[in-house]
Amino acid sequence: MNAPLAAGLSAAAFDHLAHLLHARSGLVIGPDKVYLLETRLAGILKQHRLADLSALAERTRAPGAETLIRAVVEAMTTNESFFFRDDKPFAHFRSQALPRLIGARSPGQGLRIWSAASSSGQEAYSLAMIVAESRAALGGRGVEIIGTDIAREQLNRAKDGLYSQFEVQRGLPMQMLVKYFRKEEGNWRIAEALRAMVQFREWNLLADLRGLGRFDVVFCRNVLIYFDQPTKARVLDAIAQMMPPDGLLYLGGAETVLGITSRLVPLPNERGVYGLAAGAAAPAAGPLRAAAAT
Ligand SMILES: C[S@@+](CC[C@H](N)C(=O)[O-])C[C@H]1O[C@@H](n2cnc3c(N)ncnc32)[C@H](O)[C@@H]1O
């Protein structure tokens, strides 16, 4: 019998929980992250009157444990997000991607934008604010913004569009706060017009993504970092298949496609922005076709 990894967590129970999390959400959790299991699952232990993590692992094997498993998976997600996170991708989207995509589409063609791990909604609403500010240039084209996540609580927060003073102080320019939010008992509620621009849906990145349709722009930021290489490759390849030839993918600062998939290539001189590699989609010489960075 293996030695316990921590008080109340046998090696077998750890393996079971780690496998479960990997299979359900892609999250890779090594023995050095036992403290994360302990802190994030403490509430579930209490709620279900379970003595320790080994007891929780046992309970997830019982018939009818699906709701519990969902709660475990959700509790283990990292949901940190803020408005206009890292600035640069949003500046690129506003000043490069949007104008060029508008130029490349006929007036009747709308644009579709996906925030692929939208958490509590700040990323999708940041994109919505940029789109709202670009109305004149859009010339009546419709823009559909979809936010998806695996975590229901975060999706509900996103749909609600209510943010604390602390949350709006992180990254949101004052003029945007004044223009697109109203104060509500010490918090800030997103304007209905902006909320109506974004649709939030529960979707696991490990599931078949094709049902979401095609997207001209994909923000898939700060989620791949939690996955192993094969999972990253699978998700990136699936995303590539959902993009038109001139579509764009934005990754987080610690994420890349390099060494993971050959379907996507970095835009020259742009960090964190990727386009389809030549031959990865039906050929189309759109202005946003990416070239491999040298
Ligand atoms: C750190 S947040 C990133 C939020 C936002 N993209 C940003 O950069 O600010 C990561 C999000 O990925 C979600 N997530 C983790 N695994 C997922 C999966 N397999 N499918 C969909 N969403 C997932 C989590 O629930 C969490 O809300």
**Domains plus CATH for the chain?**
11-75 (1.10.155), 88-276 (3.40.50.150)
pLDDT at 68: 98
Identify the burial level of 127 via C-beta atoms within 10 angstroms of its C-beta, where 0-12 means exposed, 13-18 middle and 19 or more buried: buried
Rounded mean pLDDT of 196-207?
A: 98
> Could you tell me which residues come within 8 angstroms of residue 262 by beta carbon, excluding any fewer than 6 positions away?
277, 280
Could you count the other beta carbons within 10 Å of the beta carbon of residue 180? 21
Q: Look at residue 290 and tell me whether its pLDDT is greater than 70.
A: no
Selection from 212, 202, 224 nearest residue 26 by Cα: 224
Question: Would you state the structure tokens that stand for residue 54, as one six-digit string?
Answer: 């080994």
- Report CA(119)–ligand 1 centroid distance (Å): 6
Question: Would you state the structure tokens that stand for residue 262, as one six-digit string?
Answer: 């050959």
Task: Name the band, by pLDDT with cuts 50, 70 and 90, for residue 294.
Answer: very low
Q: Look at residue 289 and tell me whether its pLDDT is greater than 70.
A: no
3-class DSSP state of 228:
coil
Structure confidence by residue, pLDDT tens digits, 33-82 = 999 999 999 999 999 999 999 999 999 999 999 999 999 999 999 999 99
Rounded mean pLDDT of 279-292?
A: 46
Within 13 A of 249's CA, how many CA atoms are on the CB side? Answer: 32
List the strands of the sheet with 198-202, edge to edge. Answer: 198-202, 143-149, 111-115, 217-220, 248-251, 273-276, 264-266
Q: Look at residue 282 and tell me whether its pLDDT is greater than 60.
A: no
- Tell me if 157 CB under 6 Å of ligand 1: no
Tally helices (H) and strands (E) across the chain.
Answer: 14, 10
Dist CA 153 CA 74 (whole Å): 8
Q: Look at residue 286 and tell me whether its pLDDT is greater than 80.
A: no
Residue 141 phi/psi, 5° resolution? -65, 140
Structure confidence by residue, pLDDT tens digits, 7-43 = 889 999 999 999 999 999 999 999 999 999 999 999 9
Could you count the other beta carbons within 10 Å of the beta carbon of residue 15? 14
Cα–chain-centroid distance for residue 192? 23
Instruction: Determine contact, residues 177/168, Cβ cutoff 8 Å.
Output: yes
Dist CA 276 CA 62 (whole Å): 44
pLDDT at 279: 80
Structure confidence by residue, pLDDT tens digits, 248-261 = 999 999 999 999 99
pLDDT at 160: 98
Strand partners, 184: 187
Q: Which residue among 93, 149, 220, 224 has the greatest number of ligand 1 atoms within 8 angstroms of its CB, and so is best to mutate?
A: 149
- Tell me if 232 CB under 6 Å of ligand 1: no
pLDDT at 2: 64
Helices (H), 93-151: 98-104, 122-133, 135-138
- Tell me if 123 CB under 6 Å of ligand 1: yes
Dist CA 251 CA 235 (whole Å): 12
Amino acid at 92: H
Instruction: Determine contact, residues 71/44, Cβ cutoff 8 Å.
Output: yes
- Tell me if 170 CB under 6 Å of ligand 1: no
Selection from 89, 164, 88 nearest residue 120 by Cα: 164
